[in-house]
Amino acid sequence: MAHESGAQIDEAGAREHTFSRLLETGAAFLKLGSLSFGGPIAHLGYFRTEFVTQRKWLTDDAYADLVALCQFLPGPASSQVVFALGMLRAGLLGALLATVCFVLPSAILMIAFAYGITHIGGIENAGWVHGLKLAAVAVVAQAVIGMGRNLCPDRPRIILCLLAAAVVLLVPGALIQLAVLTSGGVLGWILFRSSPLPSRPTETSDRRSHLAAGAALILFVTLLVALPPLAAAYDWRPLKVFDSFYRAGSLVFGGGHVILPLLRAEVVPPGWISDDQFLAGYGAAQAIPGPLFTFSGYLGAVIFAGPKAWLGGVLGLCAIFLPACLLIGGALPFWHSLRARPWAQAALKGANASVVGILLAALYQPVMTESISNVRDVVAAIAAFALLQFAKAPPLIVVLLMAAAGQWLLSAFS
């Protein structure tokens, strides 16, 4: 009896621990989904500050490995990192909860916009939005410095980082980023394969997790192959929309901005949505936090206009994010096993240096080029960086201060 009572107590404690982690995960990503302005590169900076620096859920090495994996996969890299972080912290339920909480704020805003809030036009040029872009400059700069210090500690990796940044700046494009990461991994294997490598702790992954991962990858491929002929055979708009959005989310490398022309080609020529409606939604998407892929929620709601347009928005969101979740969920358990091998650790040293280089290039283009237009912007961005880096101010406070500063600058100098 005493043994059974102890087992029941342990089981109750385990459930309480799991629930606590789920609650913590949901709250963290709901906050980030509400405040992560600046696009996918800025999101990666916010995630590093929150989960590496502040909460210490994982190390810089492990975080960079996740970023590298998500850069290799098609789909929204920052949202895939969200799914992976949630899974590492609280399992599959944590991954799903993290994704929903991160996407929810911007999804609600985009679907609301589809219901007719276009009278707030010009929001993309508002002063507070400009201030948030300047905050993103500071966040990404801090991420580059922090990751560079940890992941590029020697001359070979510093050179790899700078070469990666130079190539990405000179030859922009999602496929180039993939080539740079691959080249960095090959060079890392060549340069560091004979170096003594410390073993990395890696999450245990049993046979069941590998079977579930394999099933996720099979489902991804099955849907990608089966949906187009089904959509062609049945004249049912929800199925056609789901097929169009699923294919767009499955085949795009490079994140949110890259998917826009693919989505336009799917929704404008069939007459589901006009070019004016498409561009209006795109403009609104630039001014809200969270992933740009929530633009699909706006498109789905406009396509299925009416009192229940939100159902179309949910359909669009599920279709666009499902491929990313299946891919990262399928790859992550195998990735944990792979990254523990010495040759893989050597390759990851080079790939991680390339990740820092890609982030360094993104700090200039598009983060700085789209945010800084005069000396006042430079001063404001430096001030935000100083608050983050030296005053150790919470990112939330910096974001709010920069929003207020951007609005003040607009009114004072317009």
Distance set, CA 321 to CA 11, 68, 72, 84, 246 (Å)? 34, 19, 16, 14, 8
Residue 259 pLDDT greater than 50, yes or no: yes
Residue 164 pLDDT greater than 70, yes or no: yes
Cβ–Cβ under 8 Å, residues 354 and 184: yes
Residue 118 pLDDT greater than 50, yes or no: no
- For the residues 368-389, what does the mean pLDDT come to? 91
Question: Cα 253 from chain centroid?
Answer: 12
Cβ–Cβ under 8 Å, residues 25 and 316: no
Model pLDDT, residue 276? 73
**CB count in 10 Å sphere of residue 128:** 18
pTM of the model: 0.74
Give the side-chain half-sphere CA count within 13 A for 302: 25
Q: Is residue 4 part of a domain?
A: no
Residue 77 pLDDT greater than 90, yes or no: no
Q: Is residue 1 part of a domain?
A: no
Higher pLDDT, 172 or 160: 160
Cβ–Cβ under 8 Å, residues 114 and 303: no
Least confident of 36-40, 138-142, 201-205, 216-220: 201-205
Q: Is residue 5 part of a domain?
A: no
Question: Cα 91 from chain centroid?
Answer: 18
Residue 265 pLDDT greater than 60, yes or no: yes
Torsion of the alpha carbons at 201, 207, 209 and 212, rounded to the nearest 10: 150
Model pLDDT, residue 126? 72
Highest mean pLDDT among 192-196, 288-292, 353-357, 379-383: 379-383
Give the separation between CA 158 and CA 175, rounded to whole angstroms.
23
Range of the domain at 18: 14-414
Question: Which tens digits make up the pLDDT trace of 380-412?
Answer: 999 999 998 999 888 778 888 988 998 888 788
Q: Is residue 201 part of a domain?
A: yes
- How many domains does the chain divide into? 1
Distance set, CA 372 to CA 288, 375, 382 (Å)? 19, 8, 11
Q: Is residue 8 part of a domain?
A: no
Q: Is residue 198 part of a domain?
A: yes
Nearest to 252, CA basis, from 184, 302, 327: 327
